[in-house]
Amino acid sequence: MKNPFLRIGSLVCTAGALFFLGACATPHTGGKTSMSFDPPVKAPKNPSAVQLKLSTGAQRLYVVEGNDVLLATPVTVGKSSSPTPRGTFTIYSKQANRRRASSPGAGYPMPYWMEFQPAYGLHWGFVKAHPGTMGCVRMPVKSAKKVFSLVKVGTPIHIATSQPLDATVGKSLPTLDDSRLPDPPLSYMLSPQVFSDVQQGKLWKF
Domain boundaries defined on the chain: 4-23+31-196
CA–CA separation, 74 vs 54, rounded Å?
Answer: 10
DSSP state of 205: T
pLDDT class for 100, splitting at 50, 70, 90? confident
Tell me the sheet residues that pair with 156: 90
Domain 4-23+31-196 has CATH 3.40.1350.10: no
* Interior/surface letters 157-174, b for 16+ CB within 10 angstroms, e for the rest: bbbeeebebbeebbeebe
CA atoms within 13 A on the CB side of 82: 18
Q: What is the pLDDT of residue 103?
A: 75
Query: Which DSSP symbol is given to 133?
Result: B
pLDDT in tens, 49-94: 999 999 999 999 999 999 999 999 999 999 999 999 999 999 999 9
Confidence of residue 114 (pLDDT cuts 50, 70, 90): very high
